[in-house]
Chain A
Amino acid sequence: MKILVCISHVPDTTSKINFKNDNTEFDTAGLQFVINPYDEFGLTRAIWLKEKFGGTVTAINVGTNATEPTLRKALAIGADDAIRVDAEPRDSFFVAKQLAKVIFENEYDIVICGQESIDYNGGQVPGMVAALLKMPFVNACVGLEIEGQTATCTREIDGGKEVLKAQLPIVIGGKKGLVEEKDLRIPNMRGIMSARTKPLNVVQATEAPSMTESVKYQKPAPKAAVKMIDKDNVQELVELLHSEAKVI
Protein backbone atom coordinates (compact mmCIF):
# COMPACT_ATOMS: atom_id res chain seq x y z
CA MET A 1 0.00 0.00 0.00
CA LYS A 2 1.44 3.34 -1.06
CA ILE A 3 0.36 6.24 1.10
CA LEU A 4 1.14 9.90 0.51
CA VAL A 5 0.79 12.35 3.39
CA CYS A 6 0.70 16.01 2.41
CA ILE A 7 2.43 18.17 4.97
CA SER A 8 1.96 21.91 5.38
CA HIS A 9 4.75 23.86 6.99
CA VAL A 10 2.99 26.34 9.29
CA PRO A 11 3.84 28.73 12.11
CA ASP A 12 3.43 27.20 15.54
CA THR A 13 -0.05 27.71 17.01
CA THR A 14 1.12 30.11 19.68
CA SER A 15 2.93 32.40 17.21
CA LYS A 16 2.19 36.10 17.11
CA ILE A 17 1.20 36.89 13.55
CA ASN A 18 2.77 39.97 11.93
CA PHE A 19 2.73 41.51 8.49
CA LYS A 20 5.34 43.53 6.60
CA ASN A 21 5.88 45.73 3.54
CA ASP A 22 2.90 47.92 4.22
CA ASN A 23 0.81 44.88 5.20
CA THR A 24 1.16 43.21 1.83
CA GLU A 25 3.17 40.22 3.10
CA PHE A 26 3.11 37.76 5.95
CA ASP A 27 6.20 38.26 8.12
CA THR A 28 7.79 34.89 8.88
CA ALA A 29 10.78 36.36 10.73
CA GLY A 30 11.37 34.80 14.12
CA LEU A 31 8.55 32.28 13.82
CA GLN A 32 8.84 28.64 14.80
CA PHE A 33 7.45 26.36 12.07
CA VAL A 34 5.83 22.99 12.66
CA ILE A 35 3.88 20.26 10.87
CA ASN A 36 0.33 21.53 10.39
CA PRO A 37 -1.67 20.04 13.33
CA TYR A 38 -4.38 18.70 10.99
CA ASP A 39 -1.71 16.81 9.02
CA GLU A 40 -0.26 15.16 12.11
CA PHE A 41 -3.40 13.06 12.60
CA GLY A 42 -3.16 11.85 9.00
CA LEU A 43 0.53 11.05 9.33
CA THR A 44 -0.01 8.83 12.36
CA ARG A 45 -2.99 7.12 10.68
CA ALA A 46 -0.82 6.48 7.60
CA ILE A 47 1.89 4.89 9.74
CA TRP A 48 -0.71 2.66 11.40
CA LEU A 49 -2.03 1.54 8.01
CA LYS A 50 1.49 0.75 6.86
CA GLU A 51 2.17 -1.23 10.03
CA LYS A 52 -0.99 -3.24 9.42
CA PHE A 53 -0.81 -3.80 5.66
CA GLY A 54 2.80 -3.12 4.73
CA GLY A 55 3.82 -0.60 2.11
CA THR A 56 5.30 2.85 2.30
CA VAL A 57 4.46 6.25 3.72
CA THR A 58 5.77 9.24 1.80
CA ALA A 59 5.57 12.78 3.16
CA ILE A 60 5.33 15.61 0.66
CA ASN A 61 5.51 19.38 0.87
CA VAL A 62 5.42 22.11 -1.72
CA GLY A 63 7.85 24.72 -0.51
CA THR A 64 11.30 26.23 -0.47
CA ASN A 65 14.23 24.60 1.34
CA ALA A 66 13.07 26.34 4.52
CA THR A 67 10.47 23.58 4.87
CA GLU A 68 12.97 20.71 4.99
CA PRO A 69 13.22 20.60 8.80
CA THR A 70 9.44 20.08 8.87
CA LEU A 71 9.72 17.20 6.37
CA ARG A 72 12.60 15.73 8.41
CA LYS A 73 10.30 15.78 11.40
CA ALA A 74 7.73 13.77 9.42
CA LEU A 75 10.51 11.29 8.61
CA ALA A 76 11.47 11.15 12.29
CA ILE A 77 7.87 10.40 13.20
CA GLY A 78 7.85 7.45 10.80
CA ALA A 79 7.47 8.38 7.13
CA ASP A 80 9.79 6.28 4.93
CA ASP A 81 10.76 8.99 2.51
CA ALA A 82 9.89 12.55 1.63
CA ILE A 83 9.42 14.69 -1.44
CA ARG A 84 9.81 18.44 -1.59
CA VAL A 85 8.44 20.15 -4.66
CA ASP A 86 10.76 23.10 -4.93
CA ALA A 87 8.55 26.17 -5.20
CA GLU A 88 7.05 29.05 -3.29
CA PRO A 89 3.49 27.80 -2.57
CA ARG A 90 1.73 30.69 -4.28
CA ASP A 91 -1.89 29.66 -3.83
CA SER A 92 -4.01 26.55 -3.25
CA PHE A 93 -4.49 25.78 -6.92
CA PHE A 94 -0.76 26.04 -7.62
CA VAL A 95 -0.01 23.68 -4.73
CA ALA A 96 -2.76 21.25 -5.78
CA LYS A 97 -1.34 21.11 -9.31
CA GLN A 98 2.10 20.24 -7.95
CA LEU A 99 0.71 17.49 -5.71
CA ALA A 100 -1.51 16.12 -8.48
CA LYS A 101 1.47 15.71 -10.77
CA VAL A 102 3.45 13.74 -8.18
CA ILE A 103 0.42 11.60 -7.34
CA PHE A 104 -0.29 10.90 -11.02
CA GLU A 105 3.30 9.81 -11.62
CA ASN A 106 3.66 7.66 -8.51
CA GLU A 107 0.19 6.12 -8.21
CA TYR A 108 -0.54 6.29 -4.49
CA ASP A 109 -3.41 4.26 -3.04
CA ILE A 110 -4.25 6.78 -0.34
CA VAL A 111 -3.53 10.51 -0.27
CA ILE A 112 -4.05 12.06 3.14
CA CYS A 113 -4.09 15.84 3.56
CA GLY A 114 -5.17 17.83 6.60
CA GLN A 115 -8.59 19.38 5.94
CA GLU A 116 -6.96 22.81 6.20
CA SER A 117 -3.72 24.45 7.29
CA ILE A 118 -3.67 26.64 10.38
CA ASP A 119 -2.00 29.53 8.53
CA TYR A 120 -4.25 30.39 5.60
CA ASN A 121 -7.14 28.06 6.59
CA GLY A 122 -8.14 27.72 2.94
CA GLY A 123 -9.23 24.09 3.11
CA GLN A 124 -8.95 23.89 -0.66
CA VAL A 125 -5.95 21.74 -1.54
CA PRO A 126 -7.42 18.27 -0.81
CA GLY A 127 -10.58 18.92 -2.83
CA MET A 128 -8.61 20.41 -5.71
CA VAL A 129 -6.22 17.45 -5.81
CA ALA A 130 -9.17 15.04 -5.87
CA ALA A 131 -10.88 17.05 -8.62
CA LEU A 132 -7.73 17.26 -10.73
CA LEU A 133 -7.23 13.50 -10.53
CA LYS A 134 -10.92 12.47 -10.41
CA MET A 135 -10.29 10.50 -7.25
CA PRO A 136 -12.96 9.95 -4.56
CA PHE A 137 -12.77 12.73 -1.98
CA VAL A 138 -13.82 12.65 1.66
CA ASN A 139 -13.38 15.90 3.56
CA ALA A 140 -13.52 16.52 7.32
CA CYS A 141 -12.61 12.86 7.61
CA VAL A 142 -12.52 11.55 11.19
CA GLY A 143 -12.26 7.82 10.51
CA LEU A 144 -10.50 5.73 7.87
CA GLU A 145 -10.48 1.94 7.62
CA ILE A 146 -9.19 -0.06 4.67
CA GLU A 147 -10.26 -3.53 3.57
CA GLY A 148 -8.84 -4.77 0.29
CA GLN A 149 -9.47 -1.99 -2.21
CA THR A 150 -12.32 -0.44 -0.24
CA ALA A 151 -11.97 2.52 2.09
CA THR A 152 -14.60 3.09 4.75
CA CYS A 153 -14.48 6.72 5.80
CA THR A 154 -16.34 8.66 8.44
CA ARG A 155 -16.81 12.33 7.75
CA GLU A 156 -18.27 15.11 9.85
CA ILE A 157 -21.48 16.68 8.68
CA ASP A 158 -23.36 19.51 10.40
CA GLY A 159 -24.59 18.02 13.64
CA GLY A 160 -23.43 14.50 13.01
CA LYS A 161 -21.42 11.98 11.04
CA GLU A 162 -21.72 10.09 7.79
CA VAL A 163 -20.04 6.81 6.90
CA LEU A 164 -19.02 6.43 3.26
CA LYS A 165 -17.44 3.73 1.17
CA ALA A 166 -15.15 4.35 -1.78
CA GLN A 167 -12.73 2.39 -3.91
CA LEU A 168 -9.03 3.19 -3.70
CA PRO A 169 -7.26 5.36 -4.70
CA ILE A 170 -8.80 8.05 -2.54
CA VAL A 171 -8.06 11.59 -1.28
CA ILE A 172 -8.77 12.43 2.37
CA GLY A 173 -9.10 15.86 4.00
CA GLY A 174 -8.41 14.66 7.50
CA LYS A 175 -8.60 15.91 11.06
CA LYS A 176 -8.57 14.75 14.66
CA GLY A 177 -10.42 11.44 14.85
CA LEU A 178 -8.27 9.81 12.16
CA VAL A 179 -6.34 9.08 15.32
CA GLU A 180 -6.83 10.62 18.75
CA GLU A 181 -4.59 13.30 20.19
CA LYS A 182 -3.07 10.83 22.66
CA ASP A 183 -2.17 8.48 19.80
CA LEU A 184 -0.12 11.03 17.86
CA ARG A 185 3.36 9.70 17.19
CA ILE A 186 6.16 11.94 18.32
CA PRO A 187 9.75 11.55 17.16
CA ASN A 188 11.95 9.43 19.41
CA MET A 189 15.76 9.45 19.38
CA ARG A 190 15.99 6.51 16.99
CA GLY A 191 13.51 8.17 14.66
CA ILE A 192 15.42 11.44 14.71
CA MET A 193 18.70 9.62 13.95
CA SER A 194 17.22 7.60 11.09
CA ALA A 195 15.43 10.65 9.64
CA ARG A 196 18.82 12.11 8.74
CA THR A 197 19.54 9.33 6.31
CA LYS A 198 16.06 8.72 4.91
CA PRO A 199 15.62 9.98 1.33
CA LEU A 200 14.30 13.51 0.89
CA ASN A 201 13.91 14.01 -2.83
CA VAL A 202 13.67 17.50 -4.24
CA VAL A 203 11.69 17.71 -7.47
CA GLN A 204 11.19 20.58 -9.87
CA ALA A 205 7.88 22.39 -9.83
CA THR A 206 5.59 22.15 -12.81
CA GLU A 207 4.14 25.19 -14.58
CA ALA A 208 0.83 26.15 -13.01
CA PRO A 209 -1.10 29.37 -12.66
CA SER A 210 -2.12 30.86 -9.34
CA MET A 211 -5.81 31.59 -9.41
CA THR A 212 -5.76 33.97 -6.45
CA GLU A 213 -3.39 36.53 -5.01
CA SER A 214 -3.22 37.92 -1.51
CA VAL A 215 -3.09 41.70 -1.71
CA LYS A 216 -3.55 43.03 1.81
CA TYR A 217 -3.14 41.65 5.30
CA GLN A 218 -4.79 43.00 8.42
CA LYS A 219 -5.16 42.11 12.07
CA PRO A 220 -8.66 41.85 13.53
CA ALA A 221 -9.88 44.97 15.31
CA PRO A 222 -8.87 44.85 18.98
CA LYS A 223 -11.58 43.95 21.46
CA ALA A 224 -12.87 46.56 23.89
CA ALA A 225 -11.95 45.92 27.53
CA VAL A 226 -13.92 43.18 29.28
CA LYS A 227 -16.77 44.28 31.55
CA MET A 228 -16.57 42.38 34.81
CA ILE A 229 -19.80 41.51 36.56
CA ASP A 230 -20.16 40.47 40.17
CA LYS A 231 -20.97 36.79 40.59
CA ASP A 232 -23.84 37.67 42.91
CA ASN A 233 -25.40 39.92 40.29
CA VAL A 234 -25.99 37.73 37.26
CA GLN A 235 -29.18 39.69 36.48
CA GLU A 236 -26.88 42.50 35.38
CA LEU A 237 -25.30 40.18 32.81
CA VAL A 238 -28.72 39.21 31.47
CA GLU A 239 -29.64 42.91 31.17
CA LEU A 240 -26.41 43.71 29.33
CA LEU A 241 -26.83 40.77 26.97
CA HIS A 242 -30.29 42.08 26.16
CA SER A 243 -29.89 45.85 26.03
CA GLU A 244 -26.22 46.34 25.17
CA ALA A 245 -25.06 43.25 23.26
CA LYS A 246 -28.59 42.60 21.92
CA VAL A 247 -28.01 38.87 21.70
CA ILE A 248 -30.98 37.70 23.78
Chain B
Amino acid sequence: MSVIVYAESWEGKFKKTTFETVNYAAAVAEGMGTDVVAVTIGELQSNAADLGKYGASKVITVSGDSLSEFNPFTYAHALVEAARANDGKVIVVNGTFTGKSLAPVIGVEYEAAVITNVVSRPSGFSPLTVQRNAFSSKGLVEYKSNSERAVISIVTNALGVHKEDGSPANVEAATFSVDSGLKNTESVNVDRVKGQIPLPEAELVVSAGRGMKGPENWGMIEDLADTLGAATACSKPVSDMGWRPHSEHVGQTGIAINPNLYIAVGISGAVQHLAGVSNSNTIVVINSDPEAPFFKAADYGIVGDAFEVVPKLTEAIKAFKANN
Protein backbone atom coordinates (compact mmCIF):
# COMPACT_ATOMS: atom_id res chain seq x y z
CA MET B 1 0.00 0.00 0.00
CA SER B 2 1.18 3.56 -0.68
CA VAL B 3 0.17 7.12 -1.45
CA ILE B 4 1.34 8.25 -4.88
CA VAL B 5 2.06 11.91 -5.52
CA TYR B 6 2.76 13.48 -8.89
CA ALA B 7 5.78 15.75 -8.40
CA GLU B 8 5.03 18.22 -11.16
CA SER B 9 7.90 20.16 -12.66
CA TRP B 10 8.25 22.97 -15.15
CA GLU B 11 11.32 23.41 -17.33
CA GLY B 12 13.15 20.79 -15.30
CA LYS B 13 12.41 22.24 -11.86
CA PHE B 14 9.78 21.28 -9.33
CA LYS B 15 6.96 23.76 -9.14
CA LYS B 16 6.68 25.49 -5.78
CA THR B 17 3.24 24.08 -5.17
CA THR B 18 4.61 20.56 -5.72
CA PHE B 19 6.26 20.71 -2.27
CA GLU B 20 2.91 21.61 -0.75
CA THR B 21 1.34 18.64 -2.54
CA VAL B 22 4.07 16.23 -1.38
CA ASN B 23 3.50 17.51 2.18
CA TYR B 24 -0.20 16.81 1.75
CA ALA B 25 0.47 13.31 0.44
CA ALA B 26 2.69 12.70 3.49
CA ALA B 27 -0.18 13.71 5.79
CA VAL B 28 -2.53 11.34 3.96
CA ALA B 29 0.05 8.54 4.13
CA GLU B 30 0.54 9.12 7.85
CA GLY B 31 -3.20 8.83 8.41
CA MET B 32 -3.24 5.56 6.47
CA GLY B 33 -0.09 4.23 8.09
CA THR B 34 1.84 4.01 4.86
CA ASP B 35 4.51 5.78 2.78
CA VAL B 36 4.64 8.30 -0.04
CA VAL B 37 5.94 7.38 -3.46
CA ALA B 38 6.57 10.51 -5.56
CA VAL B 39 6.60 10.26 -9.33
CA THR B 40 8.39 12.67 -11.64
CA ILE B 41 7.71 12.65 -15.35
CA GLY B 42 10.01 13.87 -18.11
CA GLU B 43 13.40 15.58 -17.98
CA LEU B 44 14.44 16.79 -14.55
CA GLN B 45 17.30 19.05 -13.45
CA SER B 46 16.08 19.39 -9.87
CA ASN B 47 17.35 16.84 -7.39
CA ALA B 48 14.62 14.21 -7.14
CA ALA B 49 15.93 13.02 -3.75
CA ASP B 50 14.99 16.44 -2.33
CA LEU B 51 11.35 15.38 -2.37
CA GLY B 52 12.29 13.32 0.71
CA LYS B 53 12.54 16.58 2.66
CA TYR B 54 8.85 17.13 2.07
CA GLY B 55 7.83 13.62 3.02
CA ALA B 56 8.40 11.25 0.09
CA SER B 57 10.07 7.92 0.96
CA LYS B 58 10.74 6.95 -2.61
CA VAL B 59 10.87 8.83 -5.90
CA ILE B 60 10.29 7.19 -9.25
CA THR B 61 11.62 9.22 -12.15
CA VAL B 62 9.78 8.30 -15.30
CA SER B 63 11.08 9.24 -18.70
CA GLY B 64 10.24 8.22 -22.22
CA ASP B 65 9.75 9.59 -25.69
CA SER B 66 6.03 10.17 -25.38
CA LEU B 67 6.53 12.07 -22.13
CA SER B 68 8.57 15.05 -23.29
CA GLU B 69 5.48 17.23 -23.41
CA PHE B 70 2.36 17.13 -21.28
CA ASN B 71 -0.58 15.10 -22.46
CA PRO B 72 -3.25 14.08 -19.96
CA PHE B 73 -3.38 10.48 -21.24
CA THR B 74 0.33 9.69 -21.34
CA TYR B 75 0.98 11.36 -17.99
CA ALA B 76 -2.04 9.71 -16.37
CA HIS B 77 -0.84 6.39 -17.72
CA ALA B 78 2.64 6.86 -16.23
CA LEU B 79 1.09 7.69 -12.84
CA VAL B 80 -1.35 4.79 -12.97
CA GLU B 81 1.52 2.39 -13.82
CA ALA B 82 3.44 3.67 -10.82
CA ALA B 83 0.32 3.31 -8.67
CA ARG B 84 -0.22 -0.26 -9.84
CA ALA B 85 3.40 -1.16 -9.14
CA ASN B 86 3.19 0.29 -5.61
CA ASP B 87 -0.40 -0.58 -4.66
CA GLY B 88 -1.29 3.12 -4.57
CA LYS B 89 -4.52 3.74 -2.71
CA VAL B 90 -4.51 7.49 -3.15
CA ILE B 91 -2.96 9.56 -5.96
CA VAL B 92 -2.41 13.23 -5.13
CA VAL B 93 -1.86 15.90 -7.80
CA ASN B 94 -1.38 19.68 -7.79
CA GLY B 95 -4.27 22.07 -8.26
CA THR B 96 -2.48 23.50 -11.30
CA PHE B 97 -3.83 23.48 -14.85
CA THR B 98 -1.86 20.28 -15.33
CA GLY B 99 -3.23 18.64 -12.17
CA LYS B 100 -6.77 19.63 -13.08
CA SER B 101 -6.42 18.01 -16.51
CA LEU B 102 -4.92 14.87 -15.02
CA ALA B 103 -7.20 14.10 -12.08
CA PRO B 104 -10.32 13.03 -14.03
CA VAL B 105 -8.30 11.04 -16.57
CA ILE B 106 -6.47 9.17 -13.80
CA GLY B 107 -9.81 8.57 -12.12
CA VAL B 108 -11.18 6.78 -15.18
CA GLU B 109 -7.97 4.85 -15.91
CA TYR B 110 -7.49 3.73 -12.32
CA GLU B 111 -11.19 3.28 -11.46
CA ALA B 112 -10.70 5.70 -8.61
CA ALA B 113 -12.95 8.25 -6.92
CA VAL B 114 -11.91 11.77 -7.92
CA ILE B 115 -12.07 14.59 -5.40
CA THR B 116 -10.80 17.97 -6.65
CA ASN B 117 -10.42 21.40 -5.01
CA VAL B 118 -9.46 19.83 -1.72
CA VAL B 119 -8.68 22.29 1.06
CA SER B 120 -8.07 20.13 4.12
CA ARG B 121 -6.60 16.87 5.27
CA PRO B 122 -8.90 13.84 5.14
CA SER B 123 -11.25 13.51 8.10
CA GLY B 124 -11.50 9.76 7.58
CA PHE B 125 -9.60 7.05 5.74
CA SER B 126 -11.95 4.11 5.34
CA PRO B 127 -13.71 5.23 3.33
CA LEU B 128 -11.57 8.25 2.44
CA THR B 129 -13.50 11.37 3.47
CA VAL B 130 -12.27 14.86 2.73
CA GLN B 131 -13.54 18.42 2.48
CA ARG B 132 -13.37 20.45 -0.71
CA ASN B 133 -14.32 23.93 -1.90
CA ALA B 134 -17.55 24.31 -3.82
CA PHE B 135 -20.20 26.85 -4.82
CA SER B 136 -17.53 29.27 -6.03
CA SER B 137 -16.12 29.56 -2.49
CA LYS B 138 -19.54 30.05 -0.92
CA GLY B 139 -19.58 26.54 0.51
CA LEU B 140 -17.51 23.55 1.55
CA VAL B 141 -18.57 19.98 0.92
CA GLU B 142 -17.27 16.87 2.59
CA TYR B 143 -16.97 14.01 0.12
CA LYS B 144 -16.74 10.32 0.73
CA SER B 145 -15.08 7.95 -1.71
CA ASN B 146 -17.10 4.96 -2.88
CA SER B 147 -14.00 3.27 -4.25
CA GLU B 148 -10.94 1.55 -2.78
CA ARG B 149 -8.86 4.10 -4.66
CA ALA B 150 -8.99 7.86 -4.83
CA VAL B 151 -7.44 10.75 -6.74
CA ILE B 152 -7.15 14.06 -4.91
CA SER B 153 -6.19 17.44 -6.32
CA ILE B 154 -5.55 20.16 -3.78
CA VAL B 155 -6.11 23.88 -4.05
CA THR B 156 -2.79 25.69 -4.56
CA ASN B 157 -1.66 27.61 -1.43
CA ALA B 158 -4.64 26.35 0.61
CA LEU B 159 -2.52 24.21 2.91
CA GLY B 160 1.01 25.54 2.55
CA VAL B 161 4.32 23.81 3.16
CA HIS B 162 4.68 22.65 6.77
CA LYS B 163 7.42 20.08 6.71
CA GLU B 164 10.70 20.36 4.85
CA ASP B 165 13.17 18.58 7.13
CA GLY B 166 12.76 14.95 6.08
CA SER B 167 15.60 12.71 4.88
CA PRO B 168 16.47 12.42 1.20
CA ALA B 169 14.32 9.92 -0.64
CA ASN B 170 15.50 6.86 -2.53
CA VAL B 171 15.37 7.52 -6.23
CA GLU B 172 14.49 4.86 -8.76
CA ALA B 173 14.60 5.52 -12.46
CA ALA B 174 11.83 3.92 -14.45
CA THR B 175 10.92 3.89 -18.08
CA PHE B 176 7.34 2.88 -18.42
CA SER B 177 6.39 1.88 -21.88
CA VAL B 178 3.83 4.51 -22.66
CA ASP B 179 2.08 3.61 -25.86
CA SER B 180 2.73 6.47 -28.28
CA GLY B 181 -0.84 6.01 -29.53
CA LEU B 182 -2.00 7.54 -26.25
CA LYS B 183 -0.47 10.85 -27.18
CA ASN B 184 -3.30 12.36 -29.15
CA THR B 185 -2.43 16.04 -28.99
CA GLU B 186 0.63 17.79 -30.33
CA SER B 187 2.09 20.89 -28.75
CA VAL B 188 2.74 23.55 -31.37
CA ASN B 189 3.80 26.49 -29.26
CA VAL B 190 4.23 27.44 -25.61
CA ASP B 191 4.09 31.09 -24.67
CA ARG B 192 4.94 31.69 -21.05
CA VAL B 193 6.03 34.82 -19.27
CA LYS B 194 9.59 34.17 -18.14
CA GLY B 195 10.90 35.01 -14.73
CA GLN B 196 7.54 35.89 -13.27
CA ILE B 197 5.62 34.06 -10.60
CA PRO B 198 2.64 32.39 -12.25
CA LEU B 199 -0.44 34.03 -10.79
CA PRO B 200 -2.14 30.80 -9.60
CA GLU B 201 0.91 29.97 -7.50
CA ALA B 202 1.72 33.44 -6.19
CA GLU B 203 1.58 33.94 -2.44
CA LEU B 204 1.23 37.69 -2.77
CA VAL B 205 -1.04 39.28 -5.37
CA VAL B 206 -1.74 42.91 -6.24
CA SER B 207 -4.92 43.28 -8.26
CA ALA B 208 -6.63 46.29 -9.77
CA GLY B 209 -9.93 47.18 -11.37
CA ARG B 210 -11.79 49.83 -13.25
CA GLY B 211 -10.90 52.37 -10.57
CA MET B 212 -7.51 52.67 -12.30
CA LYS B 213 -9.28 54.50 -15.15
CA GLY B 214 -7.07 53.11 -17.92
CA PRO B 215 -4.28 50.67 -18.78
CA GLU B 216 -1.75 53.53 -18.85
CA ASN B 217 -2.08 53.81 -15.07
CA TRP B 218 -0.93 50.27 -14.29
CA GLY B 219 2.65 51.38 -13.65
CA MET B 220 1.92 52.10 -9.99
CA ILE B 221 0.25 48.69 -9.60
CA GLU B 222 3.30 46.99 -11.08
CA ASP B 223 5.59 49.05 -8.83
CA LEU B 224 3.67 47.93 -5.77
CA ALA B 225 3.73 44.31 -6.96
CA ASP B 226 7.48 44.44 -7.71
CA THR B 227 8.20 45.96 -4.31
CA LEU B 228 6.30 43.14 -2.61
CA GLY B 229 7.51 40.42 -4.96
CA ALA B 230 3.88 39.88 -5.88
CA ALA B 231 2.08 38.80 -9.04
CA THR B 232 -0.42 41.14 -10.69
CA ALA B 233 -4.07 40.36 -11.33
CA CYS B 234 -7.16 42.22 -12.44
CA SER B 235 -10.95 42.26 -12.34
CA LYS B 236 -13.20 41.01 -15.13
CA PRO B 237 -14.17 44.38 -16.66
CA VAL B 238 -10.49 45.24 -16.94
CA SER B 239 -9.69 42.08 -18.90
CA ASP B 240 -12.88 42.40 -20.97
CA MET B 241 -11.88 45.92 -22.00
CA GLY B 242 -8.45 44.63 -22.98
CA TRP B 243 -6.60 46.77 -20.44
CA ARG B 244 -4.92 43.61 -19.11
CA PRO B 245 -4.53 40.06 -20.48
CA HIS B 246 -7.24 37.49 -19.72
CA SER B 247 -4.69 35.38 -17.88
CA GLU B 248 -4.74 38.03 -15.13
CA HIS B 249 -8.50 37.89 -14.66
CA VAL B 250 -9.33 36.49 -11.24
CA GLY B 251 -12.88 35.63 -10.28
CA GLN B 252 -15.61 33.46 -11.64
CA THR B 253 -14.92 32.54 -15.30
CA GLY B 254 -11.34 33.70 -14.74
CA ILE B 255 -9.11 31.88 -12.30
CA ALA B 256 -9.57 31.28 -8.60
CA ILE B 257 -6.60 32.05 -6.39
CA ASN B 258 -5.71 31.48 -2.76
CA PRO B 259 -2.79 33.77 -1.96
CA ASN B 260 -1.55 34.74 1.49
CA LEU B 261 -2.10 38.39 0.66
CA TYR B 262 -4.50 39.86 -1.88
CA ILE B 263 -4.46 43.63 -2.35
CA ALA B 264 -7.42 44.89 -4.38
CA VAL B 265 -7.17 48.40 -5.77
CA GLY B 266 -10.20 50.08 -7.31
CA ILE B 267 -12.24 46.87 -7.41
CA SER B 268 -15.77 47.16 -6.06
CA GLY B 269 -16.03 43.47 -5.10
CA ALA B 270 -18.86 41.99 -7.17
CA VAL B 271 -19.95 38.46 -6.24
CA GLN B 272 -18.25 37.15 -9.39
CA HIS B 273 -14.95 38.64 -8.30
CA LEU B 274 -15.21 37.40 -4.73
CA ALA B 275 -15.82 33.87 -6.05
CA GLY B 276 -12.20 33.80 -7.20
CA VAL B 277 -10.44 35.52 -4.31
CA SER B 278 -12.43 35.20 -1.09
CA ASN B 279 -10.27 32.32 0.13
CA SER B 280 -7.21 34.55 0.24
CA ASN B 281 -5.67 34.53 3.68
CA THR B 282 -5.51 38.30 4.07
CA ILE B 283 -7.41 40.76 1.91
CA VAL B 284 -6.60 44.47 1.67
CA VAL B 285 -9.07 46.69 -0.14
CA ILE B 286 -8.22 50.17 -1.37
CA ASN B 287 -11.19 51.99 -2.82
CA SER B 288 -12.39 55.58 -3.04
CA ASP B 289 -15.98 54.49 -2.42
CA PRO B 290 -16.58 53.73 1.27
CA GLU B 291 -19.70 51.78 0.25
CA ALA B 292 -17.78 49.35 -2.00
CA PRO B 293 -19.05 45.85 -1.10
CA PHE B 294 -15.49 44.51 -1.13
CA PHE B 295 -14.82 46.13 2.27
CA LYS B 296 -17.19 43.58 3.83
CA ALA B 297 -14.94 40.75 2.64
CA ALA B 298 -11.70 42.52 3.56
CA ASP B 299 -9.38 42.23 6.55
CA TYR B 300 -7.95 45.72 6.09
CA GLY B 301 -9.44 48.62 4.21
CA ILE B 302 -8.37 52.06 3.12
CA VAL B 303 -10.87 54.54 1.74
CA GLY B 304 -8.95 56.76 -0.59
CA ASP B 305 -7.89 57.60 -4.11
CA ALA B 306 -5.73 54.81 -5.53
CA PHE B 307 -3.54 57.35 -7.33
CA GLU B 308 -2.64 58.81 -3.96
CA VAL B 309 -2.66 55.72 -1.70
CA VAL B 310 -0.85 53.17 -3.89
CA PRO B 311 2.41 55.13 -4.40
CA LYS B 312 2.47 55.94 -0.66
CA LEU B 313 1.99 52.26 0.17
CA THR B 314 4.79 51.30 -2.20
CA GLU B 315 7.11 53.77 -0.48
CA ALA B 316 6.08 52.53 2.97
CA ILE B 317 6.80 48.93 1.98
CA LYS B 318 10.19 49.92 0.52
CA ALA B 319 11.02 51.65 3.80
CA PHE B 320 9.86 48.60 5.75
CA LYS B 321 11.92 46.24 3.61
CA ALA B 322 14.99 48.43 3.98
CA ASN B 323 14.73 48.13 7.77
CA ASN B 324 13.85 44.45 8.02
User: Chain A residues with Cβ under 8 A from B254's Cβ?
Assistant: 176
CB pair B284–A237 under 8 Å, yes or no, is yes
Task: Closest B residue to A138 by CB, please name it.
Answer: B185
Task: Report the stretch among A60-68, A70-78, A193-201, A219-227 that lies at the interface.
Answer: A219-227
Q: Are B303 and A163 in contact (CB under 8 A)?
A: no
Query: Which chain A positions have C-beta within 8 A of B260?
Result: 247
Q: Min CB distance, B50 to chain A, in Å? A: 21
Question: A219–B140 contact, CB under 8 A?
Answer: yes
Question: Are B104 and A228 in contact, with the CB atoms below 8 A?
Answer: no
Q: Which residues of B contact A215 (CB under 8 A)?
A: 129, 142-144
Q: Per-residue CB proximity of A145-170 to B under 8 Å, as 1/0?
A: 00000001101111111111111000
A32 an interface residue at 8 Å Cβ cutoff?
no
* A to B contact number (C-beta, < 8 Å): 281
Give the residues in chain B near A48, CB-CB below 8 Å.
none
Task: Describe A's contact surface by its main secondary structure.
Answer: mixed
Say how far A106's CB is from chain B's closest CB, in angstroms.
20
The CA of A127 and the CA of B73, in the complex, are separated in Å by: 10
* A182 CA to B22 CA, complexed, in Å: 42
A237 & B316 in contact (Cβ 8 Å cutoff): yes
Report, as a range, how many residues of chain B touch the other chain.
35 or more
Contact present for B309 and A231 (CB under 8 Å): yes
Determine how close the nearest CB of chain B comes to the CB of A231; give it in whole angstroms.
Answer: 3
Q: Are A13 and B271 in contact (CB under 8 A)?
A: yes
Write the A98-127 contact mask toward B (1 if CB under 8 angstroms, else 0). Answer: 000000000000000001001111111111
Contacts of B3 in A (CB 8 A): none
Provide the residues of chain A in CB contact with B177, threshold 8 Å: none
Q: Check B139–A217 contact: CB distance below 8 A.
A: yes
A17 to chain B, nearest CB (A): 4
Residues from chain A with a CB closer than 8 A to the CB of B200 are: 158
Binding site for B on A (CB under 8 A): 13-14, 17, 19, 26, 37-38, 41, 92-93, 96, 115, 118-128, 130-132, 134-140, 142, 152-153, 155-167, 173, 175-177, 180-182, 209-220, 223-224, 226-231, 234-235, 237-238, 240-242, 245, 247-248
Identify the B interface with A (CB < 8 A): 10, 15, 72-73, 76, 96-98, 100-105, 107-109, 112-117, 129, 131, 133-147, 184-193, 196-201, 204, 228, 236, 240, 246-247, 249, 252-256, 260-261, 271-272, 275, 278-279, 281-282, 284-285, 295-305, 308-309, 312-313, 316-317, 319-320, 324
A–B complex contacts, Cβ < 8 Å, 8 sampled: A160-B247, A164-B185, A164-B187, A211-B107, A212-B145, A235-B316, A242-B324, A247-B282
Given contacts A14-B271, A130-B105, A245-B281, 4 further A-B contacts (CB under 8 A): A128-B114, A131-B76, A136-B185, A158-B98
